[in-house]
Amino acid sequence: MEEDYAMLQERRADVRSRYQNVVFPDPVLDTLWVGKRNLIRLTDQKALVDQNNDNRLLAIVSDRYKIIPYEDTITMVEEVTKEVTGYGAIQLCPSVFANGGKFKLTMKFPESVHVIREGDGIVPKIDVFNSLDLGMKLLGRYGAFRLRCTNGMGVWEHFKKFARRHLQTLFLEDLKLSILEGMAAFGMQVEGWKRWAEIEMTENVYNGAWEMLPFHEAEREKVEALRGIGDQLTLTDALKQKALTLWDMNNVLTQYASHEIKSDMRKIELEPKIAQSMEKLYLQLAA
């Protein structure tokens, strides 16, 4: 048992040495006391604390709670991706936020480039989320990474059933099959995005889109100030010149979410909401 623990610790140390830009928490279960004067020890609950952050409380958990350190998630995903062939090297990009409480591991496929239109390529990505503060369940989500502006994009219509079936609880032993099936289906989403690039938006469609999108008025003003279309046009500039497509608008929205939003959780929430709203708009226009 001691040897197994030593091997685990060695493996986790190896992960930390290879991802030195990530500050990993060191979670442990501690005794939980309640009360002001007469403290009472709770026997069925524990305090989950981070030893790397002055024993900061991450969550109150059951005494049967099993800690899965973020390093272990990385190790498991690394082992699985070694068996995924045919798509080139897979790049893993872990990040820890919310004071160690939340974790995201992005798998990118940099050699699987799909071109939406000339000079505008994307690669598939899969995000794996987990948390120690119980704010997020262990799950996975498909998306894309736009090479031109390094935007993160959500994948909606062609993947929502697939994601629900395979990745809602993310059984890591099934991850290889999930990746292979998802990559095979990604082409359908790409063909849909190519059609987005051909749909010109009118003023009525443009204003109607904002009613569906997950942005408040102040955020809309910031989005509309971004220059990310063609020769650095804003959304409204392109609209006036009748040069605004559904794909262009989607790109500016994801540019704002990826690079202008400071909150990590807000970014994570926005990605699928933008995808859902834009897919809904596309289906309306294509009907």
Predicted confidence (pLDDT) per residue in 111-134, tens digit: 999 999 998 999 999 888 889 998
Number of residues that this document lists for the chain: 287
According to the model, what pLDDT value does residue 136 have? 83
- Residue 170 pLDDT more than 60? no
- Residue 167 pLDDT more than 60? no
Dist. CA 41–CA 193, nearest whole Å: 57
Which tokens is 172 given? 């890591």
Confidence of residue 171 (pLDDT cuts 50, 70, 90): low
Mean pLDDT estimate for the chain: 87
Least confident of 140-144, 199-203, 237-241, 262-266: 140-144
- pLDDT above 70: percentage of residues in the chain: 92
E strands present in the chain: 27-34, 40-50, 56-62, 91-97, 102-108, 114-117, 120-131, 139-146, 151-154
More confident residue, 232 or 175: 232
Whole-prediction pTM value? 0.86
Nearest Cα to Cα of residue 106 among 249, 214, 268: 268
Neighbour tally for 36: CB within 10 Å: 5
Predicted confidence (pLDDT) per residue in 227-279, tens digit: 988 778 999 999 999 999 999 999 999 999 999 999 999 998 898 899 989 99
Predicted confidence (pLDDT) per residue in 2-30, tens digit: 558 889 999 999 999 999 999 999 999 99
Token look-up 């897979």 returns 90
Confidence of residue 173 (pLDDT cuts 50, 70, 90): low
More confident residue, 171 or 128: 128
What residues contact 161, with CB distance under 8 A and at least 6 apart?
A: none
More confident residue, 70 or 147: 70
Say what angle helices 175-196 and 246-259 make with each other, to 10 degrees.
130
- Residue 90 pLDDT more than 70? yes
Secondary structure of residue 15 in the 3-state scheme: helix
The pLDDT of 197-223, averaged and rounded, is 96
According to the model, what pLDDT value does residue 131 have? 92
Dist. CA 146–CA 193, nearest whole Å: 12
Nearest Cα to Cα of residue 271 among 285, 261, 280: 261
- Residue 156 pLDDT more than 50? no
According to the model, what pLDDT value does residue 172 have? 59
- Residue 165 pLDDT more than 50? no
Confidence of residue 35 (pLDDT cuts 50, 70, 90): confident
What residues contact 18, with CB distance under 8 A and at least 6 apart?
A: none
Contact 39, 7 (CB under 8 A): no
According to the model, what pLDDT value does residue 123 have? 92
According to the model, what pLDDT value does residue 162 have? 41
- pLDDT above 90: percentage of residues in the chain: 61
Dist. CA 42–CA 49, nearest whole Å: 16
| Sign, CA torsion 238/240/241/244 | positive
Bridge partners, 124 (sequence order): 144
